[in-house]
A and B are shown apart, each in its own frame.
Chain A
Amino acid sequence: MVRQLGLFFKLGAAPLVALGLIWGGLSWWTLGFKAFTTDEFVFQAAEPLPRLPPLLWFLDHQGRGFRLDQLRGRFYLLNIGFLACSVSCPLAVEAYQGLHQKLQEQKETSLTLLTLTVNPEQDSVKLLRLVWEGYGSPRQWLLASPQDIGLEAYWEQLKAMGAWVELDLQGQLRHTNRTFLINPQGLITQSFAEVPTWEVLQAALREEGL
């Protein structure tokens, strides 16, 4: 066996073996070359769509309670973030503000924007309300904070949904910008790597029969 292996390498098979190892390793690491980013990996590892959102209680910026898996009767565009975020949230907030403006212009009332904070310890309901007012009190945009759940368990639930949240080595919160579309039956039916543009969102809603 050892002699055969020696002959194998004498014949110059080492480059092929090395290429095979790299190819196989990368394929395994990226779920078959489909998930090169953390966002894609977490999303691919979650259950396939359509699926129910995790069973979580929230309070919105007005102090009204709701359960994520019981959102019914309208479309919701859900993303995650936190108020002190300076990495990806400013762009997402800008995109949500643009979407909200379009919703108002088009008088489209069947969709509500929903942002869940990933840092409930800092982002209290009171603070969310102040920030919401700072955004110009957008009627079709809810900011919400989870209730009755530990931080780690909450992040695990978000991961199971397909959104990544983690503390880095400097203790800073990192998260992906994945956005989810919840249909009137309460199912997550579509997902976007970033906040979708108005055109992409319209196409998604058309696909949902709106």
Chain B
Amino acid sequence: MIRRLFWALTVALLMFPPLDPYLDDSMSRLMLIQFPLLFILGAVGVRFSPLRLSWGPGNALGLLILGWGGVLFWMVPRSLDLAVAQEGIDFLAHLSLLISGAVLALSLPLLAFPVQIAAAIYGIAMWSMYGLILSQTSVQVCASFSLEQQQATGVAMLWAAPVFLMFLVFWTGVLLVRQGPRRSSD
């Protein structure tokens, strides 16, 4: 119960004033704190929900692709500008990132282990590529943020990418150890 309450409070804190305008005001805070945290909270939220899927891997993969699509949409500079400029779109962005996180958490367990790893690598690659674009482009990509903010965010995203990768390697190791050695009959 306390965990659920804490989860709900954190989500509310991130989604609404006074913290939301503060996070929206800087591209780094938006891209490196608010959006990833909402996505992670969406994934964590699945643990507190009775909702479980019993779909086949094909449909689960479709759901996974839709989840990543939800994230991809908010990486389009035009979407980001609108989220910063309009309250309704800002709320929609928060909500869809929460849902994308939840969708990923629901679909990943239904997929084979290599597909899970591939999905995570794809996410990190998408994140790194976006960081690279932001850091290297000399043109202002988002009208709402200055060129300096944009480049600083790109560099920070590139620094964060290896951390995510290390975490992925560590988590893969943990899962493999938990799984135990392969038996010949497998």
Contact = CB atoms under 8 A, between A and B. Distances in A.
A172 to B, nearest CB: 8
Interface in A29-49: 29-30, 35-41
A17 B56 contact: no
A194 B85 contact: no
B112 interface: no
B78 A29 contact: yes
B69 interface: yes
Contact of A36 (B60, B76, B84): B76
A37 B145 contact: no
Interface in A86-140: 86-88, 91
Main secondary structure of the interface of A (DSSP, over half): mixed
A73 to B, nearest CB: 32
A77 B25 CA distance: 31
Interface stretch (A19-27, A50-58, A62-70, A151-159): A19-27
A36 B21 contact: no
A168 B144 contact: yes
B147 A88 contact: yes
Contacts of A14: 58-63
A174 B66 contact: no
A13 B58 contact: yes
A169 B90 CA distance: 9
20 contacts: A10-B58, A12-B56, A12-B61, A14-B59, A15-B58, A18-B62, A18-B65, A18-B69, A19-B65, A25-B69, A30-B78, A36-B76, A36-B77, A38-B142, A88-B140, A88-B146, A168-B84, A169-B86, A170-B24, A177-B140
Interface of A: 9-19, 21-22, 25-26, 29-30, 35-41, 86-88, 91, 164, 166-170, 174-177, 193-194
